Amino acid sequence: MATDVTDRGAAPADAVRPVGRVRWVIVGLLFAATAINYVDRQMIGLLKPTLQTEFRWNETTYADIVFWFQLAYAVGYIFFGNIVDRIGARLGYAAAFLIWTGAHMLHALAHSVFGFAAVRFMLGIGESGNFPSGLKAVTEWFPKKERALATGIFNAGSNVGAIITPLIVPALTLAYGWRGAFVVTGAVSLVWLVAWVGLYRRPRQSKQVSEAELAYIESDPADPVARVPWLRLLGRRETWAFAVGKFLTDPVWWMFLFWLPDFLVKRHGLDLKTFGPPLVVIYIVSDLGSIFGGWMSSRLIHRGWSINRARKTTMLLCAIAVTPIVFAQYVDSLWGAVAIISLATAAHQAWSANIYTLPSDMFPRKAVGSVIGIGGTAGAIGGMIFSLYIGQVLERLGTYSLIFYVAGSVYLIALAIMHLLTPRLAPAEVC
């Protein structure tokens, strides 16, 4: 009979050698889901010029539609964060995927601003479950010293989704119309749901995991079993450090997703047929940034740095790398602008790979989904405010300059506040 790992106690993380590959298969599933999530999310940004022409939207109308998605995302993040802590990543992810895929396909039936706002709201509810579920799965399947790398890899799926979108959506739109593009992309993505339900189990329930890999996964000290009340989490500075970081920096990524094609159209004269290559370059570089950011802090921890020093050093470099975005509006060369934007998006994704690991660094596993939900809601609220700001700036000034000034400064501000709230990233006292 195999010996239960819990009978031997949890070995120190550094004393157990990383073995096995099943946990990386799980990351592959998370990567694929996140790619699909971002295809579905980004399509409206890519189709903005087409939809504005057909429905005669102005800048504030489009910003209002984006606002309703982000409002739903804010509400849904807390809902799914709590639900995932209760029912686990397997069922939580499946439910979220079904909701957002259904909403994505329903875009094909929209004929009015109200119709688009309604389906975007439903899409926001479903898509808000992606990161709470994915990060819960990473927490279940990886020890702390590998979580940033695993998070960076699956978070890189967002960039792959952003790369795929400008490659396939223009062709689908030209062939079947924009309504057909929503139906085809939604239907194909259902293959993932079958794979997820069939393959995902917690490590101790998986027949594919060897005892050695299970020992490595469980090599961190055991967490308290008791569930942490949600209101208790709101009273912790560690929760607010994560929430403030998300509130200030998530809106920048929303801006890239929903307005970057528009920037390329207005500033550099591109269209549905020509802005694909620049977007692909930007998001390929972003992908590398996501993986590099996760690798860098994990590598520093392997070399003996504290989690606090490794995470914050990496995030400081990311914050500095975003600042050149303030010059993007003034660069006449298309590829010069693409280089600046690529650096900023890569830095954001490297930042994201690290900030997403902070809840699992500071909180027990039972609380991770709820803390991520709180932070995700804060990020969506920040995105709502920034979207309305963008709409007003573009409507009145017609330039992205003020928008990029905000984007270039908020990361340093966020890191400073986070450090003041959690100077050591010490475990939160919530039990």
| pTM, entire model | 0.76
Radius of gyration of the chain (CA): 21
State the average pLDDT for the chain: 88
State the pLDDT confidence band at 431, using cuts at 50, 70 and 90. low
Residue 7 has what pLDDT? 36
Architecture of the domain made up of 16-221+231-421: Up-down Bundle (1.20)
State the average pLDDT over residues 213-227. 74
Residue 12 has what pLDDT? 46
Residue 226 has what pLDDT? 62
Separation CA 69–CA 67 (nearest Å): 5
pLDDT at 370 over 90: no
Distance between terminal CA atoms of the chain?
35
State the pLDDT confidence band at 9, using cuts at 50, 70 and 90. very low
Parse the chain into domains and list their residue ranges.
16-221+231-421
Separation CA 23–CA 244 (nearest Å): 31
Q: By mean pLDDT, which of 282-296, 327-341, 413-427 is the weakest? A: 282-296
Separation CA 232–CA 96 (nearest Å): 26
Q: What is the sign of the dihedral through the CA atoms of 89, 91, 92 and 94?
A: positive
pLDDT at 312 over 70: yes
State the average pLDDT over residues 380-402. 91
State the pLDDT confidence band at 121, using cuts at 50, 70 and 90. very high
Burial 151-164 (b: 16+ CB within 10 A, else e): bbbbbbbbbbbbbb
State the average pLDDT over residues 346-370. 88
